[in-house]
Structure 1
């Protein structure tokens, strides 16, 4: 039996995924979590074979969760299942060690097959996204990404500096670099462009 942990913040989707996967003879859903922190706690205690997670969840994103699971439980494979058909997200998912990336509108049988393939050591990537992933590498550094994410919330330069423990001048420099790299007219436009590409 392949032991599966599900992480999904929408209760209906979580319930549907659990019910569909439980119909398979060789798959056993051992737990479900409604946010990233709960998913990490459950993963550490249950040590599932495969973690199936959404990207955007409260308390910890699926990408951050995947990175932490890879570090703490290297034998647990991670599959991202999301509505975001963005090659930038796929690229980031692969960079943090995810072995699978599927869209939520994929048939249930496709997810079951992906779980088996990933459990066996393979990869399961939505074919329509796979091709663009290698062209979707973000030009942003990690610090530029953090500053843009803070700017997205509308925070002032002073607030961002305090939040990120940087000087205001350093924050302005990172913003300027990110805006230039994205060819944007300002911080809000740059943050929006980066979000649409899946880089935030």
Structure 2
């Protein structure tokens, strides 16, 4: 299944607030579709787990195959699978650029990375899934158009606060990864255990 490129507000109306997907706020507070306003039947456990999985996938802009790969990788590590999964997704380069306020959404951050505007430890990295590590320096290509774009984005960041695992020097347009993110700083409202349960047989 390819990455979603359709209307973002439909997804937000169905799944709730997804800061990484869009900054837009829907005018209607009920799910999309002709039966959206009708009171739905009681949801099954599978439907609830599927919804949590979809939240994760759409917020971070992943394909089904990518998310499954992250889940399998998290299972192999020591610790809580759900928490490790979220930490791996949060430490992706596109998400780190978004959390620094250099892009309004994760999708926009991915585009910045793909187009070579972002430097990691003074070297161009054009792979959005690059895993940032403690001590990494995130800066901007020494090009006027790149700097202008980032400065504009920093005036109105996607999220109001900077998580405690990151540092940002706005004057030099440089960010620093201090450590691995803690669960309480993850902006998405999600029950990650249900995502792990959804993939338990895959």
TM-score range, shorter chain: under 0.3
TM norm structure 2? 0.28
> Which structure shows the bigger proportion of residues in helix conformation?
1
